Structure 1
Amino acid sequence: MNTPLPHSPLDYFPIKNDCLLVGGVPLTEFAARVGSTPFYAYERRLISERIQHLRTHLPSEIYIHYALKANPMPALAGHIAPLVDGLDVASLGELRVALDTGTPPESISFAGPGKSDAELAASLAAGITINMESEGEMERIAHLAEKQGRRPRVAVRVNPNFELKTSGMKMAGGPKPFGVDAERVPAMLARINTLDLDFQGFHIFSGSQNLRAEAIIEAQERTFTLALELARSAPTPVRLLNIGGGFGIPYFPGNKPLDLRPIADNLAASLPKLQRQIPEAEVTLELGRYLVGEAGIYVCEIIDRKISRGHVFLITNGGLHHHLAASGNFGQVIRKNYPVVVGNRIQGSTREIASVVGPLCTPLDLLADRMELAQAEAGDLIVVFQSGAYGRSASPLGFLSHPVPAEVLV
């Protein structure tokens, strides 16, 4: 086997007798315990270590929230909730999961550009913070709150005039469905002052999946400047400043892990000035993928080995319907392979170039394309790393009506 690159997934999941260990158990035995393939497995140890890593390096004044959109598995959310300072949701379903964790409602926030009246009404009843994404949504909240006889906790999600450079997904800058354009926010704040809304502060999220510390630092600095400018128009002191996240994880060859140290150092230098001007504000990092992405694997079983015109295809019972991101059909412009191994033959006695495909009737059903792997046979287990975020819940599970994969937390 080729020597793993530094910070490769095999640094997180150990190997014994050429077999991957999951929760300290050989993958073959672990799969037998799950009872069927395919499945997702998440290691709570790795999640806890990642959160502790953040606590160790970030200033103690920084609050950490988990964004359930990355992985809303209830057991996983229940594990994370007591380790972080709050949860962020993007649907009524996620709100129910968040409340079931026992997280105080005041530590839960709801963002999303198309909240229904039912979602808003449930959020009001629960007492969580609603990140308002438009003037129209603000008026709907005020109307629903009046009918319920409640005073809602609200924040303004701001669409700044800048973006998180080199991010995998840009969420701000230019025309966007997310948030209120920064130049429109002062007028919105004036309107809040005439409504019976409990203003909390601002949510400024400019991008995600970034591996460049300097880009994140620049976005955070510009976020602080914008927040201080908008705070001058706020109807009450700012108590919440959600600066988003954007922290990425390495997926592909050549990716280097995000260096947290310069980000932490810059936050430590910037916070005193911010705290002098908005002393009541809780500065919050909203992270999803960074907390759980590297802690999860997707496992499927080879059901056939096929050679077509000299090329090896390993046909599995998993595929894009379970793991859309690994297939390359979830935002990749040029398809790249996720880290993939034959889990019960990590090194193997023989290596070969093979493609790993699923059972679907589409050429898009591809988990690994022309990748060096241990020579594998039917019954062997394929493992896709970096699968803890935007995996099962971000995939078209109903496509062609195959069984859905199990999820386990170990």
Structure 2
Amino acid sequence: MIGQNPLPMVAVDAEVLAPGRLKRDREWSWEMSRHPSIAAFGLEGGKLLVGGVPVDRLAEQVGGTPFFAYDRALLTNRIRRIRAAFPVGIELSYAVKANPMPAVVQHLSRLVDAFDVASARELRTALDTPLDGAKVSFAGPGKSVAELTQAVAANVTVVVESHTEATRVTAAGERLGIRPRVAVRVNPDFVVRSSGMRMGGGPQQFGVDAERVPALLKDLTRMELDVIGFHIFAGSQNLHTDVLCQAQRQTVELALRLTEAAPAPVRYLNLGGGLGIPYFERDVPVDLERIGANLTELLTSAIRPDLPDAEVVVELGRYIVGECGVYVTRIVDRKESRGRTFLVVDGGLHHQLAATGNLGQAIRRNYPLVIGNRMDDEIDGRVTVVGCLCTPLDLLGNEVALPRADVGDLVVLFQAGAYGLTASPTAFLGHPTPPEALV
């Protein structure tokens, strides 16, 4: 089977717990326990559960620490909640870049309608699933000729991001005797405020400027391409529901304007996503029901009257997987330095870069963090959790209120289901790559 992941990974079976029936002995007592992501996993015998398995037992099953673990039931429940909020007629696409672990992608292939990939390796992972290649889109600037050829041969939708890329796709189709199916990625003429990363508005390496799209579409009519529609993605990691709803409305308005220049009826419209997850204690989760109501209004009043046959897609990555995963690492030393207590663990930024604040945080804040095998213990004081790397950047938790913890205890970082292992410098200082487990 193609698309094997060279990183170590383990599949762990466990009883799937029904929503709302996660095991727990008593109410959570830590200040960080108010974070919704922690409460979702459950508790038994003073130990955190992942997929119903106590975290210390899970560490033994996967072969030790550090490791990433993703909760299969939480993934399933996340998709169920999204489906309940979104209207019929909206297709759900998973952005594989958020977490490309093959077991995760395989599981999601039975729950979502489509995949979006951003490399040949992600493409192979997607094609290894039961999902049809026609339900895969390939986006991102700088695709190589080899990648474009693979995509055309696999019958996926190539999201073209420039005139040059369109000519290369055409050439690949001619070599293969295939008429490639493409969508045009549009750099919108509006900016989405409050996004963690802006991917539209102003000068961008992504897509074609909205004002230049009509001219490009005219050129595409002279190429042997099946131009099916548009991909418009304006930003990511946004927690402001009002802003997200406004961005969806602006995206639909832009798409409808561009359809006037389309060479054929639009059959595909990817509205992007951008829904964020709460990483920090004061973050307020997105109101998914309001997002769904907004999509319902746009679908019925704007999209369907003008684009009756279009496949309308919302593309989510982090929002699907981010809160369903944890990073588990073990304390190897406890030390005092001039009035501060440090817990040194066997993991660090080479596995979970984002949690150290080195992946885009302007002001570093702590991710939710617990001692996974001491969930019933009372707060003992504030400690600083650091990784094993020889750099002061390797900071996982600064002055965190925790129970008394010592060598051998397990530190668990939450919000680790998206942009964890594959967004981290795993080769830095030569430490082993951690396993991943879908539990």
Verify the 8 A CA contact 2:30 2:379 in the aligned structure 1.
no
Correspondent of 2:135 among 103, 107, 118? 107
Helix, strand or coil: the match of 1:359?
coil
- How far 1:10 sits from its partner (Å)? 2.5
Q: Where does structure 2 lack aligned partners over 5 or more consecutive residues?
A: 1-28
**Mapped partners of 1:115, 1:81: distance in 2:** 24
Correspondent of 2:97 among 55, 65, 69? 69
Correspondent of 1:262 among 267, 290, 294? 290
Correspondent of 1:128 among 143, 153, 156? 156
**Mapped partners of 1:5, 1:59: distance in 2:** 33
**Mapped partners of 1:157, 1:3: distance in 2:** 44
- How far 1:50 sits from its partner (Å)? 0.6
**Mapped partners of 1:127, 1:258: distance in 2:** 35
Determine whether 1:390 maps to 2:419: yes
- How far 1:350 sits from its partner (Å)? 4.7
Determine whether 1:286 maps to 2:315: yes
Q: Where does structure 1 lack aligned partners over 5 or more consecutive residues?
A: none
Determine whether 1:86 maps to 2:117: no
Give deviations 1:281-301, integer Å, cap 9, x for gaps: 111000000000000000000
Verify the 8 A CA contact 1:161 1:182 in the aligned structure 2.
yes
**Mapped partners of 1:26, 1:151: distance in 2:** 52
Q: How does 1:24-173 map to 2 (within 5 A)?
A: 24-173=52-201
Which amino acid is the alignment partner of residue 332 of structure 2?
A: I
Helix, strand or coil: the match of 1:235?
coil
**Mapped partners of 1:9, 1:308: distance in 2:** 32
Helix, strand or coil: the match of 2:213?
helix
Helix, strand or coil: the match of 1:305?
strand
Helix, strand or coil: the match of 1:83?
coil
1:365 — aligned with what?
394
Which amino acid is the alignment partner of residue 123 of structure 2?
A: L
1:301 — aligned with what?
330
1:177 — aligned with what?
205
Give deviations 1:62-104, integer Å, cap 9, x for gaps: 0000000000000000000110000000000000000001211
Which amino acid is the alignment partner of residue 179 of structure 1?
A: G
**Mapped partners of 1:347, 1:337: distance in 2:** 21
- How far 1:7 sits from its partner (Å)? 5.2
Correspondent of 1:231 among 238, 256, 259? 259
- How far 1:27 sits from its partner (Å)? 1.1
Give deviations 1:188-218, integer Å, cap 9, x for gaps: 1011111110111000000011111111111
- How far 1:8 sits from its partner (Å)? 2.0
Helix, strand or coil: the match of 2:110?
helix
Cα RMSD (Å) of the superposition? Answer: 1.0
- The structure-2 alpha-carbon separation of the partners of 1:190 and 1:350, relative to structure 1 and needing over 3 Å to count, comes to closer
Correspondent of 1:316 among 315, 324, 345? 345
Correspondent of 1:19 among 41, 47, 51? 47
- Scaled by the length of structure 2, the TM-score of the pair is 0.92
Give identity over the alignment, percent: 53
2:274 — aligned with what?
246
- How far 1:17 sits from its partner (Å)? 2.0
Give deviations 1:210-266, integer Å, cap 9, x for gaps: 111111111000001100000010001101100000011100021011101211111
Verify the 8 A CA contact 2:233 2:273 in the aligned structure 1.
yes
1:335 — aligned with what?
364
